[in-house]
Structure 1
Amino acid sequence: MKKIFLLGAIFATIVSCSTRNVAVDYDRDFNFEQNKTYSFVQADNLGLNDLDSARLFSSIEKGMLYRGFKQSNEANLTVQVKPEEYVSKQQNSNVGIGMGTGGYGFGGGVSVGIPIMSQKLNQNYTVSMFSDGRLVWEGILKIQMPLKASPEVRAVNIQKGVLKMLKDFPPQPKK
């Protein structure tokens, strides 16, 4: 039982070290209620490995299906995905090591900061929806996670990010 708890705590810590930022914009005059079908426009090279690409498209499909949209060859909406992936180095914090003396109202000290560097995997996704060649909705998802994140952590981050991006989709029609 203790091992299961420990593994759960480690997994939660790794997932919580990830961040997901979302920005969404859409055409206020477009009626999404009358346009319930979509299709993907596939780019030749997405810049992602095949596994992350499959996770992303699966998450988008589930999110759209949950919101009442169906994938079709004769779709009203065309969904285009532009990913970007890069590794960044960050200085998380400093650890200070110091020493000093003091006495008789007199004191002194020396402190040295030791930087702690880490590498993070950054995945940025721009999901654009077009109707008759006109941009009607766009969501930008930025995910940052540990460089050597496990497949489970990557899948959870992509799924949660897409759900967050599609949270208020479709936008409510103008009243």
Structure 2
Amino acid sequence: MGRKDTYMQFRKLIGISLFVIAWTIGAFADQVAVDYDHAANFQQVKTYSWSKVHTFNSIWDQRVKDAVDRELARKGWTQVPSGGDVQLVAVEKTSIHQQYDTFYNGFGGWRWGGMGDTTTEINNYKVGTLIVTMFNGNSRQLIWRGTSRSDLSGNPEKNNKKLNKDVDKMFKTFPPRTAS
């Protein structure tokens, strides 16, 4: 095999490796989705008030409120104690997910059979889901919903950074441009 063939194989291997790395990073990235009422006129909304925040503890209640308040303040919205143009509700839940990894090894398999072994590992991990919902302050109709889902760690600081990053993604293109 010549130098040129070796170089081409090396380039192909690098390309495949980069694809696998990019795919893996994308597969483990936080999932954020937004949906809204296309008939709602977000350009007229200037104030909001919190209706309810429900997380697994009061510290996270405040962290969720702070993250959403920060993003809405960047958009020029003002929080009022009650009677805002929109009412906000935030709900967070955690769940335990399982990942199964099975490894096969063995040798033989020729004339007299062979030996083999299978090992399965079960990994439990926490997944957090945050849903932020906006309702029209007068009609109580749903007008916007943002949802994020991400793997949680045992480190509260890392989870707080994920929360802020996910809320930032939720409100990146907010307010939506509607036809109204």
TM-score bin, normalised by smaller chain: 0.7 to 0.9
* Higher strand proportion: 1
Residue 112, structure 1, aligned to residue 113, structure 2? no
Residue 33, structure 1, aligned to residue 40, structure 2? no
Structure-2 change in CA distance of 1:55 and 1:18 (3 Å): farther
What is the CA-CA distance between 1:98 and the residue it aligns to?
Answer: 2.1
Residue 84, structure 1, aligned to residue 89, structure 2? no
Count of residues paired in the alignment? 152
Structure-2 change in CA distance of 1:101 and 1:51 (3 Å): same
Gaps of 5+ in 1: 1-15
Larger Rg: 2
* Identity across the alignment (%): 25
1:24-78 CA-to-partner distances (Å, cap 9, x unmatched) read 11111211111021111125xx241223222222111111112222211341111
1:157 — aligned with what?
Answer: 162
Partner SS for 1:79? strand
TM-score (norm 1): 0.75
Letter in 2 for 1:171: P
Partner SS for 2:40? coil
Residue 143, structure 1, aligned to residue 150, structure 2? yes
Gaps of 5+ in 2: 1-24
Residue 61, structure 1, aligned to residue 69, structure 2? yes
Structure-2 change in CA distance of 1:166 and 1:111 (3 Å): farther
1:10 — aligned with what?
Answer: none
What is the CA-CA distance between 1:151 and the residue it aligns to?
Answer: 1.3
Letter in 1 for 2:94: E
TM-score (norm 2): 0.73
Counterpart contact for 2:109–2:115, Cα < 8 Å: no
How far apart in 2 are the matches of 1:154 and 1:34? 34
* Higher helix proportion: 2
